[in-house]
């Protein structure tokens, strides 16, 4: 069986998890699906999903200038989310990806991050399955490895931000137990991404761990993370020795803040629709040393005035240093 036919068969098997066939989708979709090339994306396409899952479809359309907002169909009681994307978008986005990368024990990692919106699309397109047996893969096979390296870099950044958030909460005197747990899950997400299983909804993390055959010793170790020393130990175990997210992270003014004047009062309107008079916290995470400063920074992050970001150039330098030492 050829690669295209095999992908088509996998699409049929994925849809069967929600009790649908490709014919069911095509009949109910009608002219909606005829405007472009339809692909199954998301958790079902990645090999996960169950009877309660939605069906996510992407249509690659010739004359769509921009990605569209999703719209819905209901097929035999199953929700089908459909988005349209320019047919040129996959090649355009993948052709702009930096080829600079480092090979580490956990896999290929890109040295330069991409935009978040592109990473979301690439995650879905790299595992997409066609609804027609003549459709080629969305991502050219020669570029899949590069795409996976960039998705692993996104998972690495998420791990460092989770680590910095847990550290800051602990410094602020808060109970950081849950945040350290999130950090452990982020490490597992990173290991899966490095093994070629890109990020998807966290509820599927155990299934991804199983598919990627992550050793039980690593799983047990990262799920027991309770502090910075544990994080360093686990990252060293998976092949990232000597990294320090606290030194690489910053508190930055959140994007999208708007100044608002009400009477004699001056406020900032956050993207969450809240009015705040507090000035956003800004500076290196390592600079918020005392409890009061750390609590101020965390409060600003919590209400949407500030966000945790990484010095991505410094992250790239750290990755190069690890790669050179291998």
Same domain, yes or no, for 77 and 159? no
206, part of any domain: yes
pTM of the model: 0.88
Beta-strand runs (E) in 185-295: 249-253, 258-262, 265-269, 275-276, 283-284
123, part of any domain: no
Same domain, yes or no, for 233 and 318? yes
Rounded Cα gap, residues 116 and 114, in angstroms: 6
From 49-58, 69-78, 79-88, 94-103, the region with the lowest mean pLDDT? 69-78
Q: What is the pLDDT of residues 153-192, one digit of tens each?
A: 999 999 999 999 999 999 999 999 999 999 999 999 999 9
Rounded Cα gap, residues 239 and 326, in angstroms: 9
Of the candidates 31, 63, 87, which is a domain's last residue?
87
Q: What is the pLDDT of residues 224-272, one digit of tens each?
A: 999 999 999 999 999 999 899 999 999 999 999 999 999 888 899 998 8
Same domain, yes or no, for 233 and 321? yes
* CA distances to 85, 94, 107, 150 from 118, in Å: 12, 9, 21, 10
pLDDT of residue 51: 84
Written as six digits, the tokens of 51 are 């009877």
Domain total for the chain?
2
Number of other residues whose CB lies within 10 A of the CB of residue 224: 12
pLDDT of residue 2: 45
pLDDT of residue 315: 94
Rounded Cα gap, residues 253 and 231, in angstroms: 27
Tell me what the mean pLDDT of segment 51-61 comes to: 91
pLDDT of residue 68: 67
For residue 32, with 0-12 CB atoms within 10 Å meaning exposed, 13-18 middle and 19 or more buried, which class applies?
A: middle
**The three-state (H, E, C) secondary structure of 52-118, written as one string:** CCCEEEEEEECCCCCCCCCEEEEECCEEEEEEEEECCHHHHHHHCCCCCEEEECCEEEECCCCCHHH
Tell me what the mean pLDDT of segment 128-136 comes to: 89
49, part of any domain: yes
127, pLDDT greater than 80: yes
Q: What is the pLDDT of residues 204-218, one digit of tens each?
A: 889 889 988 999 999
pLDDT of residue 6: 62
Confidence of residue 1 (pLDDT cuts 50, 70, 90): very low
pLDDT of residue 49: 81
> Percent helix, strand and coil across the chain, each rounded to 5?
50, 20, 35
Beta-strand runs (E) in 203-303: 249-253, 258-262, 265-269, 275-276, 283-284
DSSP class of residue 214?
Answer: -
φ/ψ region of 238 (left if φ > 0, alpha if ψ in -120 to 50, else beta) reads: alpha
200, part of any domain: yes
Tell me what the mean pLDDT of segment 23-48 comes to: 87
281, part of any domain: no
The answer to whether 58 and 70 have CB atoms below 8 angstroms apart is: no
Domain that holds residue 47: 1-87
120, part of any domain: no
29, part of any domain: yes
pLDDT of residue 301: 94
163, part of any domain: yes
The answer to whether 107 and 194 have CB atoms below 8 angstroms apart is: yes
Same domain, yes or no, for 173 and 317? yes
DSSP class of residue 242?
Answer: T
Q: What is the pLDDT of residues 280-298, one digit of tens each?
A: 999 999 999 899 999 999 9
């Amino acid at each position: 069986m050829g690669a295209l036919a095999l992908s088509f068969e996998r699409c049929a098997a994925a849809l069967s998890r929600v009790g649908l066939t490709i014919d069911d989708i095509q009949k109910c979709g009608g002219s909606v699906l005829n405007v472009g090339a339809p692909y199954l994306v998301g958790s079902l396409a990645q090999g996960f999903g169950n009877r309660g899952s939605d069906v996510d479809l992407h249509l690659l359309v010739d004359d769509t200038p921009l990605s569209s907002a999703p719209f819905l169909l209901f097929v035999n009681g199953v929700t089908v989310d459909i988005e349209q994307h320019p047919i040129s978008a996959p090649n355009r986005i993948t052709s702009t990806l930096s080829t600079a990368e480092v090979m580490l024990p956990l896999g290929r990692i890109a040295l330069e991050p991409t935009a978040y919106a592109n990473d979301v699309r690439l995650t879905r397109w790299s595992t997409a399955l066609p609804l027609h047996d003549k459709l080629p893969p969305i991502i050219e096979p020669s570029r899949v490895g590069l795409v996976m390296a960039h998705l692993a870099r996104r998972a690495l950044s998420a791990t460092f931000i989770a680590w910095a958030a847990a550290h800051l909460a602990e410094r602020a005197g808060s109970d950081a137990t849950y945040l350290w747990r999130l950090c452990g899950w982020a490490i597992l997400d990173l290991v899966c991404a490095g093994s070629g299983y890109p990020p998807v909804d966290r509820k599927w993390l155990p299934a991804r761990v199983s598919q990627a055959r992550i050793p039980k010793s690593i799983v047990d170790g990262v799920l027991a993370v309770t502090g910075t020393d544990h994080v360093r130990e686990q990252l060293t175990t998976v092949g990232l020795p000597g990294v320090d997210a606290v030194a690489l992270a910053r508190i930055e003014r959140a994007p999208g803040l708007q100044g608002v004047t009400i009477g004699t009062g001056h406020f900032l309107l956050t993207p969450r629709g809240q009015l705040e008079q507090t000035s956003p916290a800004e500076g290196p995470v390592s600079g918020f040393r005392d409890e009061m400063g750390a609590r101020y920074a965390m409060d600003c992050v919590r209400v949407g005035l500030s966000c945790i970001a990484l010095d991505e150039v410094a992250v790239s330098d750290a990755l190069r240093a690890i790669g050179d030492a291998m």
